[in-house]
Structure 1
Amino acid sequence: MIRLWLHFVLTTILISLSSLIVACNSPTPPTEFAPDGEIVEKAIVLQLSQNFQSLSNQLNTTPPQLKINQIQVKQLDSILVEQLFTYHLQGTYNLKLMFSRQIKEQKKNRFDIYLQRQIEGETWRLLKREYNLSYETTQWKSYLIR
């Protein structure tokens, strides 16, 4: 009976230690290194600009000037993408669209972006996830945030 109990305790300890070792081998980026407000703002503007440019090209018009404010990050998750720190941010922002003849304002627009810190730690990239339905895979496209 004692031998069975000792075997159970040792097995439990070994399983716990191996779980701890596996957890240590899959690091997540620290949230202290997450992008600041300026980077988040530039990333949202970049994403919006790309969308409006595409739409404007189809409509043969000039894209509006964009101004955003009141950015509120509601959720921040950190992951590794291709061995680089990546942050998934979700939240809201207010948008001002300045067209040639009018100005439109929108409040509490939602954003869902992935931002990746580059190896040297000085630049950031906006990542966009693309699904390849044929191969059932996910690929990432990245855009430099200036």
Structure 2
Amino acid sequence: MMFRLLPARFAASFPVSRLLWSGCLLFLLLTLTACGGGSPSVSLSPNSDTIKKAIILQVKHSQNAISQQLNAANPNLRISHIKVRQLDAQYLAKLPTYHLQGRYDLDLELPTQTVKQSGNSFDIYLQRQREGKTWRWLQPKDQDAEGTVQHWLTYLIH
């Protein structure tokens, strides 16, 4: 003897009710996912080429100040072995912004020698622009007493 959960007259409508139940469940999941949209997708984070260009921009920015003080030429830079250790996604000014931390190796080509540095750390903020084609490096400018950044300087990454 077979045990039936549904009487025979409901057997024909069972696929419809199951489809309706699945649709409701899908709607509920999508609604809950939409509510949790507080951070941008990590899948849209910057690629290794963009990260490399941003690190070079950051190093050049600090090297320019040193070169001006020493009245010396800016060295050529080569970045290699980039390892991102931490990636955090957030919205800043309604644009997806990624805070990346990690390590890299640097070769400085000076007029008389090449200096190699390994294991340099980086801590950068990269922001994807509205059209999604360009990136900007963000540098904190002003911070309040709690350490929250109030203003940012931004530089286009070429």
Instruction: Kindly provide the amino acid, as one letter, of the partner of residue 138 in structure 1.
Output: Q
Mapping for residues 39-54 of structure 1, pairs under 5 Å: 39-54=50-65
- The unaligned stretches of length 5 or more in structure 2 are 1-30
Specify the alignment match of 2:73 in structure 1: 62
Task: Give the aligned length.
Answer: 125
CA distance in 2 between counterparts of 1:30 and 1:143 reads 22
CA distance in 1 between counterparts of 2:153 and 2:108 reads 26
Question: Of 127, 130, 149, which residue of structure 2 is paired with 1:119?
Answer: 130
Corresponding residue SS for 2:52: helix
Specify the alignment match of 2:156 in structure 1: 144
Q: How far does residue 111 in structure 1 lie from its aligned partner after superposition?
A: 0.2
Specify the alignment match of 2:101 in structure 1: 90
What do the CA deviations read for 1:24-44 (whole angstroms, capped 9, x no partner)? 276200000000000000000
Q: Report the TM-score, using the length of structure 1 for normalisation.
A: 0.80
Corresponding residue SS for 1:35: coil
Corresponding residue SS for 1:119: coil
Instruction: Kindly provide the amino acid, as one letter, of the partner of residue 81 in structure 2.
Output: Q
Instruction: Kindly provide the amino acid, as one letter, of the partner of residue 86 in structure 2.
Output: Q
CA distance in 2 between counterparts of 1:32 and 1:110 reads 23
Q: Report the TM-score, using the length of structure 2 for normalisation.
A: 0.74
What do the CA deviations read for 1:83-117 (whole angstroms, capped 9, x no partner)? 00000000000000000001110001000000000
Corresponding residue SS for 1:32: helix
CA distance in 2 between counterparts of 1:46 and 1:68 reads 11
1:129 pairs with 2:129: no
Corresponding residue SS for 1:120: coil
- The unaligned stretches of length 5 or more in structure 1 are 1-19
CA RMSD of aligned residues (A): 2.0
Distance 1:86 1:107, change over 3 A: same
Corresponding residue SS for 1:50: helix
Q: How far does residue 130 in structure 1 lie from its aligned partner after superposition?
A: 1.5
CA distance in 1 between counterparts of 2:63 and 2:149 reads 27
From the CA coordinates, give the structure whose radius of gyration is larger: 2
Corresponding residue SS for 2:124: strand
- Check conservation: 2:140, 2:149, Cα contact below 8 A: no
1:100 pairs with 2:140: no
What do the CA deviations read for 1:45-66 (whole angstroms, capped 9, x no partner)? 0000111011101111001110
